[in-house]
Chains A and B, each alone.
Chain A
């Protein structure tokens, strides 16, 4: 169980993430009840079954293309972007595209190898919840992890205007 950070505070995770076990296929895996985060392949294969649920979550792997799910974004209460290793930076572009290009406004959660020193970058591209890896200090991450820098040069999701357009 990772340690969830939401709105700058520890939070309980109310979602279950569906993972395909060996031998299970997106077409046949049993769909659990409750608030479930579905892999992209399951969502694509079983959209009709899932769509009636009141709250739906989606998980994107780092190689999954945002474009493939762009028309469905209004269906999701949460999108979890998985970082298989923290040095795999594809999830940052995934998040930036979801927020900036496709206007996704629901919860955007970083999951997987989520560490203290990447929280600043994650917040900037548009994540708003973070499943911090176990064994890492949650209070310390919340206290200093998000704000190593008091200003930023580039435009990003959190601040579309680069610093040079905000100079007095």
Chain B
């Protein structure tokens, strides 16, 4: 993976010094709360319900074992011994002290980590595919370009104070695993006559106004991605709305202008930057790409693996096709039933770091589904990896299954949340704790967000759950049929919302409708697409009191 050079290192050390001084001036009253807020946000520091929340960047999801050990140490020393992986390649700590953050940043800088621009109205962490570099369906490795983009976004002088946050994802595979349709800019690999480039998608986003992005440029040579993004950003910085934070994302600008008028402005702007100094050189690409070369794979043949049922289940769900014969990518599930999705303890981080060192060339990745990937494991090592991961609670064989829930921290931790999300996730996991049943249900994405900001990506879950506030009570709205990937789309609301207590039953009824109606080999989504939402709706609300009857029931209670 990428190793910092002297300048990269110097810049993050200078960032630590700068933030230390900003905290000092804030404590001394030289910076007002309002003046300090964007500065701390651009260093990942929120003030939250119980304590500050601190968000550390894992650029494009890549980490080495030393970095993960440092995260373990930091979580233990400055927090409560655990962290939470988010859907955008970050690790969040929920209980640090503001005064400690400069020290935390200094310790992170020693292993080439930082919290730069992990929140605030600026260019955020670049995200990509957790299987980058090893995926069997990959056309180019997006990581060198993601690193070049990381550097370009870092302290960009013109775009440090945008109307709102700005998220970019880059994908280099046939099957999109980076949700490019729902980013402010999504770059999707496209090849024309052997020339490598990207389709540029703009104005997508989840949040309170979910919008699928639109194609602003069908083909952009890879050399031009920085100059083209700058053109988009300049149009957005100048004309994006600043009067209303809820209407400030680029998607609103794109919607109000229409994609054709927006494209015209971007292309007019790009005419000036095209071919200019921000054009990526082959030399720079080669320099960065040299950091992402394949590890020293051994020539290994296929191996006999144990036929043990539990092992085979894990193999089926938690390993991934690899471009190298005899190797596989292992997903360590952070979706153990009963544990907050994406949470990981310091001890587990250290175990994962050891596993990475022993079995996967000392590197690992985190996915937007909030799991950890060991990308280069020899198949013959799988039984050992499984045993060790299992002992650490990291081998739940549920990747892609109903209980591998994407979930935000929700009302237990987050100030923005309307409702708790983690207890809903754990209640659903408890209801579907039977592995035979879970495997029978098969591929199913269930995503939960505690509010319409949609950090849990509920809109693109096959089943989406959104926490809503009704007269100070927590309720949950269910959507069906959302999806990520090439055919990404938003789910449809099934009907009136449910109380927390009703949720496991509601999910179970939805599952029952699927099981009763499915044809052989049909996944949940296939059945849903064939039969539509009505059978689900009818079952879920069957016999359910509503209107006057509901009111009477509530009054009687």
Chain B residues with CB below 8 A from A137, complex form? 30
**Beyond A89-B237, A165-B277, is A124–B157 a contact (Cβ under 8 Å)?**
yes
Q: How many residues of A contact B (CB 8 A)?
A: 37
Is A28 interfacial (CB 8 A cutoff)? no
Kindly supply a per-residue 1/0 record for chain B positions 229-261, scoring 1 wherever the CB is within 8 Å of any chain A CB and 0 otherwise: 000001001100010000000000000000000
**Beyond A153-B151, A164-B280, A164-B281, is A86–B161 a contact (Cβ under 8 Å)?**
yes
Chain A residues with CB below 8 A from B152, complex form? 153-154, 162
Known: A115-B35, A164-B283. 9 other contacts (CB 8 A): A120-B157, A121-B157, A148-B18, A149-B14, A149-B18, A150-B10, A162-B226, A162-B278, A167-B284
Contact A90 B277 (CB under 8 A): no
Contact B160 A121 (CB under 8 A): yes
Contact B160 A163 (CB under 8 A): no
Contact A150 B158 (CB under 8 A): no
Looking at the complex, which one of A87, A148, A154, A164 makes contact with B156 (CB distance below 8 Å)? Answer: A154
Is A78 interfacial (CB 8 A cutoff)? no
Q: How far is the CA of A152 from the CA of B31 in the complex (A)?
A: 25
Is A96 interfacial (CB 8 A cutoff)? yes
Contact B11 A162 (CB under 8 A): no
**Beyond A88-B242, A137-B30, A165-B277, is A117–B159 a contact (Cβ under 8 Å)?**
no
Is B21 interfacial (CB 8 A cutoff)? yes
Chain A residues with CB below 8 A from B38, complex form? 86-87
Cβ of B538 to closest chain A Cβ, rounded Å: 49
Across chains A and B, which 4 residue pairs bring their CB atoms closest together, nearest first?
Answer: A89-B161, A124-B157, A164-B284, A121-B157
Cβ of B473 to closest chain A Cβ, rounded Å: 35
Q: How far is the CA of A96 from the CA of B30 in the complex (A)?
A: 29
Chain B residues with CB below 8 A from A124, complex form? 157
Chain B residues with CB below 8 A from A29, complex form? none
CB-contacts of A34-76 with B (<8 A): none
Is A151 interfacial (CB 8 A cutoff)? yes
Q: How far is the CA of A107 from the CA of B264 in the complex (A)?
A: 32
CB-contacts of A71-106 with B (<8 A): 86-90, 92-93, 96, 101
Cβ of B121 to closest chain A Cβ, rounded Å: 7
Chain A residues with CB below 8 A from B533, complex form? none
Looking at the complex, which one of B11, B17, B25, B234 makes contact with A151 (CB distance below 8 Å)? Answer: B11
Is A155 interfacial (CB 8 A cutoff)? yes
Contact A101 B272 (CB under 8 A): yes
Contact A153 B159 (CB under 8 A): no
Is A4 interfacial (CB 8 A cutoff)? no
Contact B14 A148 (CB under 8 A): yes
Contact A86 B160 (CB under 8 A): no
Contact B21 A162 (CB under 8 A): no
Is A132 interfacial (CB 8 A cutoff)? no
Q: How far is the CA of A86 from the CA of B156 in the complex (A)?
A: 16
Task: Name which residue of chain A comes closest to B25, CB basis.
Answer: A116
Looking at the complex, which one of B148, B154, B157 makes contact with A125 (CB distance below 8 Å)? Answer: B157
Contact A117 B157 (CB under 8 A): no
Task: Name which residue of chain A comes closest to B39, CB basis.
Answer: A117
Task: Name which residue of chain B comes closest to A90, CB basis.
Answer: B238
Cβ of A51 to closest chain B Cβ, rounded Å: 28
Q: How far is the CA of A122 from the CA of B21 in the complex (A)?
A: 19
Contact B158 A156 (CB under 8 A): yes
Contact B281 A149 (CB under 8 A): no
CB-contacts of B161-181 with A (<8 A): 161-163
Q: How far is the CA of A148 from the CA of B39 in the complex (A)?
A: 13
Chain A residues with CB below 8 A from B163, complex form? 89
Contact B21 A161 (CB under 8 A): no
Is B554 interfacial (CB 8 A cutoff)? no
Chain B residues with CB below 8 A from A161, complex form? 277
Contact A150 B281 (CB under 8 A): no
**Beyond A90-B237, A144-B21, A154-B278, is A96–B121 a contact (Cβ under 8 Å)?**
no
Chain B residues with CB below 8 A from A120, complex form? 155, 157
Q: How far is the CA of A137 from the CA of B277 in the complex (A)?
A: 37
**Beyond A87-B121, A149-B11, A149-B14, is A92–B155 a contact (Cβ under 8 Å)?**
no
Q: How far is the CA of A151 from the CA of B157 in the complex (A)?
A: 12
CB-contacts of A121-160 with B (<8 A): 121-122, 124-125, 136-137, 144, 148-156, 160
Q: How far is the CA of A150 from the CA of B482 in the complex (A)?
A: 47
Q: How far is the CA of A154 from the CA of B166 in the complex (A)?
A: 17
**Beyond A88-B161, A117-B39, A121-B160, is A160–B277 a contact (Cβ under 8 Å)?**
yes
